[in-house]
Amino acid sequence: MCGIIGVFGPTSASQEVFRGLLTLQHRGQDAAGILSYDFLSSRFHLVKNKGLVSEVFKQTEIEELPGTMSIGHTRYATVGKGELGDIQPFVANYPYGIGMCHNGNLVNYYEQTQELKNKKNCHPLTSSDLEVLLNHFAQGLAVTKEKEEELTFPALVRATQEVLANAQGGYSVIGIIAGEGMFAFRDPRGIRPLVLGKQGKEYCLASESVAFNFLGYEFVRDIKPGELIFIDKDGTLFQQELQKQTSKACMFEWIYFSSPESVLENKAVYAVRSMLGQGLAKKVEKLIAENKIKPDVVVAVPETGRIAALALAEASGLPYREALIKNRYVYRSFILNGQKNRENAVDVKLGPVVSEIKDKNILLVDDSIVRGTTSKRLVDLLKRAGAKEVYFASLCPPVRHPCFYGVDFPLEEELIASHHDETMVAKKIGADFVIYQDIENLNSILGPNLCLACLNGDYPVDASSALEFARKRKQHRLLES
């Protein structure tokens, strides 16, 4: 899961992209990059490095990125070994000159890498699946270039169809073509998000609408699954749906990844989390009536658990307390690479307010229980602070199956709910009771067109290459640790 943004039109597009990336920092903390194209000098300009957006880009770096077209990326590694060469955006010098960044995963990345190498003579230079997308797109455009024809929207359609025909997974792409304009497209199932904004004659494409709120763009709409968008050098927008399939947006976007200010697929993230909290309240009330739990206060795990915890407390009539204070200078623990990093982050990320915890039964609300690493540390933190009992409420239903579409849990063996029921999960994380969201309630709030593969094992895109994908990811994780 990464954050991507593209801006077309402003005098200093990179300045806008930089500011937009700051609003998308929650989507990736490993690295960041910005690519611009200057029509006056007919040149690309690229700055990228490991670290947070504010660490990678100072004013001097942004001044080295002139031009009215720019794309940016903040990285959450789900493939590769975290090397400098894997940091996006990427640039290809032929045909025309193409810059590209993406958010998501290709399940058949390793298979496609070999296919491109053996049949198209494209030798891999990175460990990133973006290279596969870029190579297929370039191969599709090369036909037009070799015929010495002008670049047209139908030519871009053919190039994008080349990608869609070969890339299996969930992905959103934003790119630049030198001297021509900016393009964007989504996978045919729309698993990964992408939205379009406009301000006068200027355009912005981004992973989330939160970037528009900050930059002053008016939200236009979500890019449709399988749709191609192109903004030419004159600012004319072209659009075409290339594959019409039922949308399967990732449910984890609303539960964890997206900012509360964002609206995706016409559903406000804040409102969804609030309604999910209300759904949990009904289960909590039933358990209290059955004398199975006796909570004194509701406590949120900041930040993603807070909205649901407030709604749960309000609906159930329980008092709410800010008993865990977040250290705002620590990374999001879920999206850190490596088990050790996640474990260490929890210890310094949250500080307990002992006066609100000691001798109380705590109903702790978090977005999810995935590996159980963070959950166990949280329960232990509360009990060390004097909590009598801790009941753990998860906004998300049990995560029992791997994700291959952009969330970094591709190994079933590391998912605590894949081989344990609720009672055993509670025992494993040290909680006195575990309460999960119901899939039925999730569907009633978000609608039926969701990717729930990690919950029910129903993969909307062919996952036959998943074993190799998972094996390689495990190898890379071992190298990282």
pLDDT of residue 338: 52
pLDDT of residue 465: 85
**Which among 277, 271, 282 is positioned nearest to 446, based on CA atoms?**
271
State the Cα–Cα distance between residues 441 and 431, nearest whole angstrom. 24
Residue 16 CB coordination number (10 Å):
26
Same domain, 34 and 83: yes
**Which among 309, 212, 215 is positioned nearest to 263, based on CA atoms?**
212
State the Cα–Cα distance between residues 176 and 231, nearest whole angstrom. 10
Q: Which of 98-102, 209-213, 343-347, 353-357 has the least mean pLDDT?
A: 343-347
Which residues have CB under 8 Å from 119's CB, separation 6+? none
User: Active-site residue among 2, 204, 250, 396?
Assistant: 2
The torsion defined by the Cα of 397, 400, 406 and 411, in degrees rounded to 10, comes to 150
pLDDT of residue 307: 98
In the block, which residue shows the tokens 């004159």?
Answer: 234
Structure confidence at residue 333 as a pLDDT band (50, 70, 90): low
Same domain, 293 and 174: no
CATH assignment of the domain containing 190: 3.60.20.10
Mean pLDDT score of the chain:
93
pLDDT (mean) for 439-467: 93
Strand partners, 105: 170
Same domain, 25 and 98: yes
Axis crossing angle, helix 269-289 with helix 439-446, rounded to the nearest 10: 150
Same domain, 24 and 128: yes
> Is the residue at 470 inside a domain?
no
State the Cα–Cα distance between residues 172 and 194, nearest whole angstrom. 6
Same domain, 54 and 199: yes
Provide the domain count of the chain. Answer: 2
Which residues have CB under 8 Å from 80's CB, separation 6+? 86, 126, 127, 128, 476
> Is the residue at 473 inside a domain?
no
Which residues have CB under 8 Å from 325's CB, separation 6+? 302, 350, 351, 352, 353
Give the range of the structural domain holding residue 7, as residue numbers without chain letter.
Answer: 3-248
Active site residue 2: yes
Same domain, 360 and 401: yes
Mind listing the pLDDT tens digit for each residue in 357-373?
999 999 999 999 999 99
> Is the residue at 465 inside a domain?
no
> Is the residue at 146 inside a domain?
yes
Same domain, 159 and 303: no
> Is the residue at 152 inside a domain?
yes
- For the chain, the residue count is 481
Tokens representing residue 294 in the block: 């006796």
The per-residue DSSP string of 246-273 comes to: ---EETHIIIIIS-TT-EETTEEHHHHH
Mind listing the pLDDT tens digit for each residue in 60-77?
999 999 999 999 999 987
pLDDT at 332 exceeding the cut of 60: no
Q: Are strands 297-300 and 361-366 parallel, antiparallel or unpaired?
A: parallel
Same domain, 194 and 324: no
Mind listing the pLDDT tens digit for each residue in 51-61?
999 999 998 99
> Is the residue at 261 inside a domain?
no
State the Cα–Cα distance between residues 461 and 121, nearest whole angstrom. 27
Same domain, 190 and 331: no
CATH assignment of the domain containing 382: 3.40.50.2020
pLDDT of residue 83: 83
H-run or E-run covering 74: strand 69-75
pLDDT of residue 181: 98
State the Cα–Cα distance between residues 199 and 201, nearest whole angstrom. 6
pLDDT at 287 exceeding the cut of 60: yes
pLDDT of residue 103: 97
State the Cα–Cα distance between residues 245 and 91, nearest whole angstrom. 30
H-run or E-run covering 373: helix 373-384
Same domain, 127 and 229: yes
State the Cα–Cα distance between residues 455 and 440, nearest whole angstrom. 12
Residue that is last in its domain, among 248, 281, 300: 248
Mind listing the pLDDT tens digit for each residue in 387-425?
999 999 999 999 999 999 988 888 899 999 999 999 999
pLDDT (mean) for 336-341: 53
> Is the residue at 469 inside a domain?
no
pLDDT at 455 exceeding the cut of 70: yes
Same domain, 46 and 11: yes
State the Cα–Cα distance between residues 379 and 369, nearest whole angstrom. 12
Same domain, 167 and 24: yes
> Is the residue at 26 inside a domain?
yes
